[in-house]
Amino acid sequence: MKKIIGIILVAAALVLVLFGFRLGKKLSYEALEKNDGFVEMQLQIVARDINARLPRMVNSELRLDETQAGPGKIFTSFFTLPDYTADTLDQQKRAAILDADTRSTCGSRDLKPLLDAGVSIVHHYRGSDGNDAFTLTLTAQSCGLTDK
């Protein structure tokens, strides 16, 4: 269980580093709040740049396969858990992954401006069999960053 949580934290860190590095170069956070079209365009650029370096093993137990921008202000990362099929990933492991991923993403200073600008961060997990295991969608509201 601790190994799975560690894996998710490393994966989230990788995505944040790649995502934050690209965003820091190309846009100011003030612009995020003012122009939805600008945000969507930047998400497309980030996805393209990250995908050029994928797939990439985060470690022996987690692979980042691709990222996708859109539709609208959605940024999705697709992960594979090579040691599990969708059917062999039990509820306890799934819950640990979801909890660690939520804490890491919602607590990220790099992603806060994106969440505040209305971007939904989606992490989609697949088993080694290619079947969908589960998906986590995080927004400013689900991260407790709004009063709504």
Domain range annotation of the chain = 2-138
Is residue 21 over pLDDT 80? no
Tokens of 64: 């980042």
Is residue 33 over pLDDT 90? no
Per-residue pLDDT of 62-115, as tens digits, reads: 899 999 999 999 999 999 999 999 999 999 989 988 998 899 999 998 888 889
* Candidate CATH numbers 3.30.70.580, 3.40.190.10, 2.60.120.260, 3.30.300.250; the one for domain 2-138: 3.30.300.250
Instruction: Provide the mean pLDDT of the chain.
Output: 82
Position with higher pLDDT, 36 vs 110: 110
User: Nearest Cα to 64, choosing from 7, 102, 105, 120?
Assistant: 7
Bridge partner residues of 122 (DSSP): 76, 137
Identify the pLDDT of residue 95.
92
Q: Are 76 and 51 in contact (CB under 8 A)?
A: no
* Residues whose CB is less than 8 angstroms from the CB of residue 37 and which lie 6 or more positions away in sequence, other chains included: none
State the amino acid at position 111 in one-letter form. L
Per-residue pLDDT of 130-140, as tens digits, reads: 999 999 999 99
Hey, is 89 helix, strand or coil? coil
**CA 134 – CA 146 distance, rounded (Å):** 25
Q: Are 124 and 78 in contact (CB under 8 A)?
A: yes
Identify the pLDDT of residue 53.
94
| Residue 25 pLDDT level (bands cut at 50, 70, 90) | very low
Is residue 9 over pLDDT 60? no
Q: Give the strands of the sheet with 120-127, arranged side by side.
A: 56-59, 62-69, 74-81, 120-127, 132-138
* Residues whose CB is less than 8 angstroms from the CB of residue 112 and which lie 6 or more positions away in sequence, other chains included: 145
Is residue 27 over pLDDT 80? no
- Mark 85-104 as b/e (b = at least 16 C-beta within 10 Å): ebeebeeebbebbbebbbeb
